[in-house]
Each structure stands twice: as C-alpha cells, then as structure tokens.
C-alpha cells in the first residue's frame, strides 16, 4: 500500500474545522499509520489598503482540504465521516493527485522552496555590503525570513531612515 494525496470536499468556510476534527479523529481512532498529513492550501496575498501593505492568507481552493493517506476502507471511512466533509473528489473511488499536481500546490503554498536561514537579530548592528547604500551602517529593525529581506535603520541626512535589503546585502558587525 502506498500513500497518496487525496482531495476532500468540505462545506465552504469549514476547511480549518475539518482539518482540526480530522486530526482529533486520527488520534482517537489510532489512524496515524494510515493518515499522515492534512493541508488547507493557503497562499500569501498582499493587500494595499490606504497606502499600507498587509499580507493575509488566502485559501487557494476554498471548500477543499488535501489529505495524505494510504487508502483503505477504514481510512476512507475515518475521513469521509469527519464532520464538515461532504466527500472525496472522485466519489466512492477517490482519485489521488499526481506527483506533479502535489508539487505545483506545494510550490504555490511556498512549502517546496528552501527557506533562507539568517542569524541576525532585531537591534543588531550591520553593514550594508552591496547596492546603493553600500558602506552604510545601521541596526536591524525587522526581519522577513519568508521574503529573504531585512529592514535596517541607517542614519542618513541626520535622521534614521528605514531601508529594506536582501539578506545577502548585509553583514554583521
């Protein structure tokens, strides 16, 4: 038996509830060796409102949850009879996603991409080593690991000015 990803249809707006309910059922029915991961596919959405940027999460497939599992009669029934689940895509004979489809969804969610690890801390002094602000020294104000960027306060024209830089453009002092 091999594990595959299956798409489960839920009541719209109940995706996270289904995920939580299914996780509880897996634990209480001891199905951890058949049902492995449950994902509500989400992506970051950048909103600009009143000139302010706000990143919020948006469901990629509203009304659907992905379940990685080994399909047996028992695992099928555990998922199918979870509150909020209306059925599997494919009906009583669920159709697994292809490896390509899974890779595409994971990439869209940002799971596939390796995260940049940075050993900077807020308040730490850094030197800008590339770009138009090369040679400037400042303190780290914010770190955005998901974007691979850092906000640094540098002293320019007698005032503190925030600049956003890639991790590769700064070095610790």
* Per-residue pLDDT in tens (0 to 9) along the chain, 173 residues: 789 999 999 999 999 999 999 999 999 999 999 999 999 999 888 777 777 888 888 899 999 999 999 999 999 999 999 999 999 999 888 999 998 898 888 888 877 544 455 678 899 999 999 889 999 999 999 998 777 789 999 998 889 999 999 888 888 88
In a domain, 54, yes or no: yes
The reply to whether 88 and 45 lie within a common domain is yes
Are 141 and 155 contacting, i.e. CB atoms less than 8 angstroms apart? no
Q: What is the pLDDT of residue 118?
A: 66
Verify that 13 and 95 share a domain, yes or no: yes
In the three-class reduction of DSSP (H, G, I as helix; E, B as strand; rest coil), residue 143 is classed as: strand
pLDDT, position 107: 85
Give the torsion through C-alpha atoms of 48, 50, 56, 58, to 10 deg. Answer: -70
Number of domains in the chain: 2
Beta strands 3-10 and 85-88 are antiparallel
The residue whose two tokens read 């379940």 is 67
Residues 77 and 20 in one domain: yes
82 and 133 both lie in a single domain: no
Residue 117: count of CB within 10 angstroms of its CB: 7
| Number of residues that this document lists for the chain | 173
Do 36 and 102 meet the contact criterion of CB atoms below 8 Å apart?
no
Domain match, 14 and 99 both: yes
User: How confident is the model at residue 112, as a pLDDT?
Assistant: 54
Query: So what's the pLDDT on residue 2?
Result: 85
Both 143 and 103 in a single domain?
Answer: no
54 and 98, same domain (yes or no) = yes
pLDDT value for 80:
96
- Rounded CA gap, 16 and 68, in Å? 16
- Which CATH number fits the domain that encloses residue 168? 2.30.30.30
Q: Report if residue 102 sits inside a domain.
A: yes
Q: Are residues 103 and 138 in the same domain?
A: no
Determine the structural domain holding residue 19 and report its residue range.
3-109
């Amino acid at each position: 038996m091999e594990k595959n990803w299956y798409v489960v249809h839920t009541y719209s707006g109940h995706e996270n509830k289904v995920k939580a309910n299914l996780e509880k059922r897996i634990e209480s029915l001891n199905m951890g060796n058949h049902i492995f991961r449950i994902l509500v596919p989400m992506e970051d959405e950048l909103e600009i409102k009143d000139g302010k940027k706000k990143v919020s999460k948006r469901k990629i497939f509203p009304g659907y949850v992905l379940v990685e599992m080994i399909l047996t009669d028992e695992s099928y029934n555990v998922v199918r009879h979870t509150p909020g689940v209306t059925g599997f895509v494919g009906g009583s004979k669920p159709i697994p996603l292809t490896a390509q489809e899974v890779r595409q969804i994971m990439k869209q969610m940002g799971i596939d991409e390796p995260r940049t690890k940075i050993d900077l801390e807020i308040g730490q002094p850094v030197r800008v080593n590339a770009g138009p602000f090369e040679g400037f020294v400042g303190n780290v104000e914010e770190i955005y690991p998901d974007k691979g960027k850092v906000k640094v306060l540098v002293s320019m024209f007698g005032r503190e000015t925030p600049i956003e830089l890639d991790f590769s453009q700064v070095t610790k002092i």
